[in-house]
Amino acid sequence: MLRHLGKKRSFKHNLGLATFLAFSAGFVNAAGFVAFGLLTTNVTGHTATLAIDLVSGDWHAAARVLLWLMLFLAGSFISGLLIGAVGPDKRNAYVGPIWGVILCLGLVCLFATPGASLHRQHAFAGILLFAMGMQNAVVTVISGSVVRTTHLTGIFTDLGVDLARIMVQGQSTVLWSRTLLRLSIITAFLLGGVSGAFEFRRLSFTAFLLPITILLLTLLYSRLRIGLRRTKKRISNLG
């Protein structure tokens, strides 16, 4: 999923990347909301909250929301820097940012506690926003802006446009592939959200081990697949 870049990426590569990471983002979004009462994978709602706080003159709340927005931006920025330092055409360019996401989720898993002070809750919510900014940047760059996994507004818009095109222009392989990709992202995000809400109520912050595991599998997927192919080839040669 991470080895093929640019024009070498196929629909299958993007579908696998989208499914894994959209599920992870949906999980984090729902678990974060249950834990902190905040959405932690996008900034649209926070922007509206910031506007309301500014109009109300609640400068403390506005500063806090602005910090959350900047943390999401910072996650994307740091991810972009890490990718750029290695080179976006290099296969290992995306390893650093994904490890960064894993580290952030690990911090929440290890140190966040139920019933913590509001200040600590807001801090951990900020860590999740930073992590999701990193993840979204990785997916955006590696897929050539084809895939987004941390929010669905654009996905639903693009899906509606493509469905309209199918009705007007007729069926085509490209349109159906894009439609299937977007439906897969929406479904994976929803299933991740259901899992996140359920598992957090059952396991509390330990539940974040699941998206961590998914991200680790994403890193290992290509190597495991190559190793499996080599093993099959050796067995075949022995036969």
Helix (H) or strand (E) holding 84: helix 59-86
pLDDT tier at 42, thresholds 50, 70, 90: confident
Expressed in angstroms, the distance from the first to the final Cα of the chain is 31
DSSP of 92-137: GGGHHHHHHHHHHHHHHHHH--TT--HHHHHHHHHHHHHHHHHHHH
The pLDDT of residue 60 is 95
Contact by Cβ (8 Å): 141, 83: yes
In the predicted structure, residue 226 carries a pLDDT above the cut 80? no
pLDDT, tens digit, 9 for 90 and up, residues 62-79: 999 999 999 999 999 999
Average pLDDT, rounded, for the chain: 86
What is the pLDDT, as a whole number, of residue 178?
84
What pLDDT band is residue 113 in, cutting at 50, 70 and 90? very high
Query: Which has more pLDDT, 59 or 141?
Result: 59
**pLDDT at 7 (0 to 100):** 57
pLDDT at 31: 96
pLDDT band at 108 (very low <50, low <70, confident <90, very high): very high
Average pLDDT estimate for 38-58: 91
Reference 215, options 134, 144, 123; nearest CA is 134
Name residue, tokens 């979004």. Answer: 29
pLDDT of residue 84: 86
Identify the CATH number of the domain defined by range 6-238: 1.20.1250
pLDDT band for 90, please (50, 70, 90 cuts). Answer: confident
Question: Is residue 221's pLDDT more than 80?
Answer: no
Question: How confident is the model at residue 173, as a pLDDT?
Answer: 80
pLDDT-derived band at 16 (thresholds 50, 70, 90) equals confident
Q: What is the pLDDT of residue 158?
A: 86
Is the pLDDT reported for residue 1 higher than 60? Answer: no
Q: Say whether pLDDT at 26 is over 90.
A: yes
For residue 5, pLDDT beyond 70: no
Could you state, in order of their start, the residue ranges of all structural domains in the chain? Answer: 6-238
